[in-house]
Amino acid sequence: MKALRFLLVLAAIAAGSAKALAEPATDAACAHKGRGFVQVPGTMTCVKVAGRAVAEADAASGDRGSRMRAGGTVSMDVRSDTALGPVRGFVRLRVREGGERER
């Protein structure tokens, strides 16, 4: 059940990222940072959130059993220009669930 809930969360994140990529960004303040960056209101900070979700299932006959796996990656890139120069923060989270055969 945890794997299914996790997969649904990752799918929602991926759908949001796909929608953001399908719609061209109109945020001219962050255009120089790269594709997908948007400005945090009231600041000079630009943020990009991206991710992907993967799910697979194997079914076997006999005593080999079946297997389900789910996983995904979520990353957040934050960039800001300061008086001392550019500052960047980057975080990537990778998660994998399952993989054991059920009999």
103 domain-assigned: no
Q: pLDDT over 90 for what percent of the chain?
A: 26
- The per-residue pLDDT for range 61-72, each reduced to its tens digit, is 666 677 778 889
87 domain-assigned: yes
Question: 85 or 25: whose pLDDT is higher?
Answer: 85
38 domain-assigned: yes
User: How buried is residue 39: exposed, middle or buried, by Cβ count under 10 Å (0-12/13-18/19+)?
Assistant: middle
How many domains does the chain fold into? 1
Residue 64: phi, psi to the nearest 5?
-75, -20
- Give yes or no for residue 24 having a pLDDT over 50: no
16 domain-assigned: yes
8 domain-assigned: yes
Range of the domain at 75: 2-98
Which pLDDT score is estimated for 67? Answer: 77
Mean pLDDT of 33-46: 89
- Give yes or no for residue 96 having a pLDDT over 90: no
